[in-house]
Structures are given as structure tokens and as C-alpha cells.
Amino acid sequence: MAALAVMTGIAYTVLGLPSALLLALIAGLAEAVPIVGPALGVGPAILVALAIKPEVLVLVIVAYVIIQLLESNILVPIVMRNAIGVSPLLIILSLLVGTALGGLAGALVAVPTIAGLEAILERLQDREIPVGEDSATAGHTTDEEMRGETDLAAGSVELPG
């Protein structure tokens, strides 16, 4: 939200819109609203441009679209990776699959689901005993063997013969 507010504030100031900081604050706060937030955020800037500076209306729309593309395709995946530890590619793919399967509800649960699946897979890979291996046939060593305290080390091994 803050990054979007800063970017829109800079763009609106460069374009010469009056009250650029207020419009940027509105755009930043509107980002909190899922799906329709970007449309709500650009609305006041479009109205101000239309009423006061109609010659920059198209530039305001183009600037906001570019800012939204940067935010949704670069900034959000980086923040998600740092926040939950999932790669940006997995986040984007999970959002696409979640939206295709479940619409808005699917998109809302897509990232937490993929984060949970990734955590489960990492835990399964970190096991000492593979998941498919039976612990009875795994050939476990005794505690003494793990510490290196075998009969050989103690010198009490009986040799055959």
C-alpha cells in the first residue's frame, strides 16, 4: 500500500495533478480492498484530471496501469516470498489455479495452501527415515552404536574359532 502510494504520488506530481499527495494517499488506502481496490484508487485521480486537467487524463490512466503492473507482478511476489517463504513463481501459479478452480474464494486460499504444501514437503524431505520405509526394517542402530561405543572399542569381542 505504501509503495503504491509513493509511486502514484510521484506520478501525479510529475503529471501536475492538483492535490497529488491526497490522491496518492487515497490510491494507497484503496489497495487494502481486494480485487476492486485499484479501480477505487484511480477513480478520484481520473475525476480530478477530467475536471481540472483533461489533457493529462490518458497519461494518468497509463501511469496507473503501469504502476499496477509493477506492483502486482514484481513487488507483491517479492513481498510474499519474504513474508511466507514461497517463490514468486509458485505464488503466481497458485493464484492462477486457485482463481480458475474456486473464483475469488479460491484465490484467497491459494497462497496459504501452497505455503502449507511446501512446508509439508520440506518436512518430509528432512526425515532421517524415508516416509515409505518401515521403522522395523530400517536397520536402526542401538544407542551405543550411535555414540561409537561398540564391543570392539571396549576390547571384549570374541573371535570365532
Mean pLDDT value of segment 107-129: 83
Mean pLDDT value of segment 81-102: 83
Please give the C-alpha separations between residue 145 and each of 93, 107, 129, 133, in angstroms, as whole numbers. Answer: 47, 51, 17, 21
Residue (of 22, 66, 59) closest to 44 by Cα position = 22
pLDDT in the model for residue 82: 76
Please give the full DSSP string across 14-66, using - where no structure is assigned: HHT-TTHHHHHHHHHHHTTSTTTHHHHHHHHHHHHHHHH-GGGHHHHHHHHHH
pLDDT in the model for residue 43: 93
Burial label, 103 (beta-carbon count in 10 A; 0-12, 13-18, 19+): exposed
Q: By mean pLDDT, which of 33-37, 43-47, 98-102 is the weakest? A: 33-37
pLDDT, tens digit, 9 for 90 and up, residues 62-79: 999 999 999 888 887 787
How many Å from the N-terminal Cα to the C-terminal Cα in the chain?
81
pLDDT beyond 80 at 22: yes
